[in-house]
Amino acid sequence: MADLLLDWAEEAFWTPYVWTKEQSLLPNWAVDDARRQFVDLYFTVCVGAVVMYFSFAGFNWFFLFDKKALDHPKVLPNQVRREIWCFFKSVPGGSALTTAVFVAEIRGHSRLYDDLREMNLQKYTGVDDGGWLYIGLSFFAFLFFTDMGIYWIHRWLHTFPLLYKYIHKPHHTWLITSPWASHAFHWADGFLQSVPYHLFVFLFPFHKVFYLVMYIFVNVWTVSIHDHNYFVSESMEDYINGAAHHNGHHVYFLYNYGQYFTLWDRLMGTHKDPRKYPDEKIRSHFEPDNKQSKKQQ
Enumerate residues 6+ apart whose C-beta is below 8 A from 106.
2, 3, 6, 37, 41
What does the alpha-carbon distance between residue 98 and residue 94 come to, in Å, rounded to a whole number? 6
Say if residue 280's pLDDT is above 60. Answer: no
Q: Find, among 51, 46, 47, 43, the residue nearest to 18 by Cα.
A: 43
Q: What is the pTM of this model?
A: 0.88
110-151: per-residue pLDDT in tens?
A: 999 887 766 666 666 666 666 778 888 889 999 999 999 999
69-109: per-residue pLDDT in tens?
A: 888 888 999 999 999 999 999 999 999 999 999 999 999 99
